[in-house]
Structure 1
Amino acid sequence: MAEPGPLVMLSAGEASGDRHAAQLFLELRKLLPGVRAIGMGGPALREAGVELCYDSSAIGVIGLAEILRHYGEIRRALKIMREAARRHRPDLLVCVDYKEFNFRLAKAAKACGVKVLFYVSPQVWAWRPGRVKTYGRIVDHMAVIFPFEVPFYQAHGVPVTYVGHPLAGKVRTTLSREQARDRYGFAATPLIGLLPGSRRNEIKRLLPVLLEAAGRLAAEFEGAQFLLCQAPTVEDQALQEYLEGAKLRIRVVKGQDYDALGCCDAVITVSGTATLEVALLGLPMVIVYRLAPLSYWLGRQLVSIPYIGLPNILAGRSIVREFIQHQANAANIAGEIGKILRDRDYAEAIRRDLRGIREVLGERDGSRELARLAAGMLGARV
């Protein structure tokens, strides 16, 4: 009877992490066909064939106040994952983002002799940089998705590999803009994308603002249409209560439909991974975000970089407007999108800057490179 393959534990707490972890496991299985996996995640991990110890859909929140409201459930999830690590003793734990939770899980796993690979590096270069040494004590290897992160970890003696961003080389359209507009039935009038986020608290806090901004734009631009991208973790009902009252021409698409999104003339997006997807498609955008007041105040004390949007962080300067907290209002958002739609030179300058983001990230397949790194940590020669 054949020996069972190595056992990997994957821990992802949010929608983007769930997708990244699933892509990793699928690539790892190509290199090590007998590999098995357990862990925490959502629908993408389950579909990839990972045995879930805990479904993370309920704990994908951000901000101190939001985390405090879900603290009991987050604590229960951490207990389940710690116990699973002790019981199964996986050959490798791969932590995908979800920093504070995975820090504690990694510490527990390391204590019982489990190797730890951390993917989507905690942004200690942006906030609480002193924690890098602590991460170095509990992580065997840091896999980073941005090239500028490598020298930071090297300077602190943390083993690090730049594997490439998981979206690089994957965010692209398969149809021309004209073909896509024909397929989806979009008229040759302004089409504005709405990306309200993948978490319930984001939808509640930001979708009404996005819809109010859309209403202003509909009044200014005759025939304006709107495309709302619904994340896999967001239930239909969570959107419908807001959309029913909006008298707008809104088309809802589910999942990562880059052909549909690529039809947009401009996009209003919540801060997060989605901003990078929009950037890689070369679409002018506005980035918005709101947190509970306490979470925002604490973040301002800890964050040491001037931007929250990934396109601006990667560029090292402001190439798209960010409206945060009280500035994230319908008037500001609609005003900036209106400028993009009216001023062709302004819109083209943004597109030109966004092309530089694709050049920075390159075409390296982050999931494949990460799988090779994980396989090496499992003792395989690849």
Structure 2
Amino acid sequence: MDQVLFVAAEASSVTYAQRILETWKKQGRKIHAFGVGSQSMEDLGFERLGKSEEMAVVGAVEIINHFSHLKAVFNSLVEEAEKRRPKVAIVMDYPEFNLMLSKKLHALGIPVVYYISPHVWAWRKGRVKTIKKYCKEVFVLFPFEVPFYQEHGVPCEFVGHPLLDEIDDRLTDDKEYFKTHRNQCGIRDDEIVLGLMPGSRHGELRMHFQIQLDAARILARKYPTLKVLILTAPTFSKEQMQDYLEDFRLPYILMKDEPFRMIHLVDMMLVASGTATLQVGLMKKPMVIMYRMKWLTGIMAKMLVRGTKYFGLVNLILGREAVPERFQSEVTPEKIAALLERYIVEPEYKASVINDLAQIRSYLGDKGATQRVVNALDKYIKA
């Protein structure tokens, strides 16, 4: 049986890796996949050497705190790769870990493919040299990434964005279904639904969730029909989220479902920067993007992010601040609540943001990304 190594440590990467495994299973392929992944991947027969829910850390301080565990997983991956000699290693996002791993795997003669590559076209462009040195190929999600990698001599293939395969078209354009879906979830027609997406990592939850809840409280004082929808990331249980809600007295729904189905229910979203912003953007939901790190990590991030004005993915794609984004000291409940309030009191502003977000889909190619990835991997697995 052919062996394939995966590293899917981020919530979004887990979904895309799972779709590849599901496709192989439907095709009856005899492939044994092992590495870093989720419980849902394990349910498909994936052998976990590292658990994504334990590895989704962010920032220098968090990495230091988890260093011994991350190092143990890293060493285990290298050791097992040397024993098993997988046909290909598919590394996804998680650049600091994956670029170091790629170097080790390259030295062992194991081909490495980077799928869901770091946004080196936007920040820390020097990493492209490491990718070129240790990766056979990059599968890119955005058409505009192709000329960047070509310019740097990195073999790449545009596969499109796998998020497009996750969207049920009823969720974007069917107004009657929108009303019905909300009513089924206990949302009245007159209620304003504010969605909260604090992030998929433990550090993000600690840094963001309380601020998001406080911003909701401020809005609710002025708008009594406000209802809060709390979207639980795949890496968390509802019970973990509930720990933060003991003193939260506003009407709220705590939900764990497919991301697009949850996003469908909201009128506006307060979202931590990451792939979630693209999910919200594809649903054409007005949003405010926020991100806070520990002080030292934030200083380091500012030093490393050069040559780009934005950190929110939707703004990076569109090349302008289509939706407000705030970082570090600018992330306060009062400032965030004021930005969200514009969507309630300025219908023309809200409509212009929705119009901007509607353009995002044109940047992502066509549906079928997972199948294109599976096809592209065949040259390694069947070799």
Query: TM-score by structure 1 length?
Result: 0.95
Q: What is the aligned partner in structure 2 of residue 178 from structure 1? A: 179
1:32 Cα deviation (Å)?
6.0
Q: What is the aligned partner in structure 2 of residue 202 from structure 1? A: 204
- Which deviates further from its counterpart, 120-129 or 240-249? 120-129
User: Is the Cα–Cα contact under 8 Å of residues 238 and 256 in structure 2 kept in the other structure?
Assistant: no
- Which deviates further from its counterpart, 55-64 or 220-229? 55-64
Q: Determine whether 1:71 maps to 2:67.
A: yes
1:364 Cα deviation (Å)?
2.5
Q: Which secondary structure state, in structure 1, belongs to the residue aligned with residue 161 of structure 2? A: coil
- Which deviates further from its counterpart, 131-140 or 86-95? 131-140
Q: Deviations over 1:151-192 (max 9, x none)?
A: 111111111011111102423454621111121110121111
Aligned partner of 1:197: which letter?
Answer: G
Q: 1:191 aligns with which of 181, 187, 193?
A: 193
The residue correspondences of 1:96-245 to structure 2 (distance < 5 A) are: 96-172=92-168, 174=170, 176-188=177-189, 189-245=191-247
Q: 1:291 to 1:44 in 2, by over 3 A?
A: same
Q: What is the aligned partner in structure 1 of residue 288 from structure 2? A: 286
Q: What is the aligned partner in structure 1 of residue 39 from structure 2? A: 43
Q: Which secondary structure state, in structure 2, belongs to the residue aligned with residue 186 of structure 1? A: coil
1:19 Cα deviation (Å)?
1.4
Q: Determine whether 1:271 maps to 2:273.
A: yes
Aligned partner of 1:258: which letter?
Answer: F
The residue correspondences of 1:342-361 to structure 2 (distance < 5 A) are: 342-361=345-364
Number of residue pairs the alignment of both structures matches: 376
Q: 2:7 aligns with which of 11, 18, 21?
A: 11
**Separation in 2, partners of 1:158, 1:173:** 35
Unaligned runs of 5+ in 1: none
Q: Determine whether 1:312 maps to 2:315.
A: yes
User: Is the Cα–Cα contact under 8 Å of residues 139 and 159 in structure 2 kept in the other structure?
Assistant: yes
Moved over 4 A (4+): none
User: Is the Cα–Cα contact under 8 Å of residues 180 and 260 in structure 1 kept in the other structure?
Assistant: no
**Separation in 2, partners of 1:226, 1:140:** 46
Q: Which secondary structure state, in structure 2, belongs to the residue aligned with residue 126 of structure 1? A: coil
1:146 Cα deviation (Å)?
1.3
1:227 Cα deviation (Å)?
0.6
1:282 Cα deviation (Å)?
0.5
1:13 Cα deviation (Å)?
1.4
Q: 1:260 to 1:157 in 2, by over 3 A?
A: closer
Q: Which secondary structure state, in structure 2, belongs to the residue aligned with residue 243 of structure 1? A: coil
Q: What is the aligned partner in structure 1 of residue 174 from structure 2? A: none
Aligned partner of 1:64: which letter?
Answer: A
Aligned partner of 1:364: which letter?
Answer: K
User: Is the Cα–Cα contact under 8 Å of residues 180 and 259 in structure 1 kept in the other structure?
Assistant: no
How large is the Cα RMSD of the aligned pairs? 1.5
Q: 1:337 aligns with which of 333, 336, 340?
A: 340
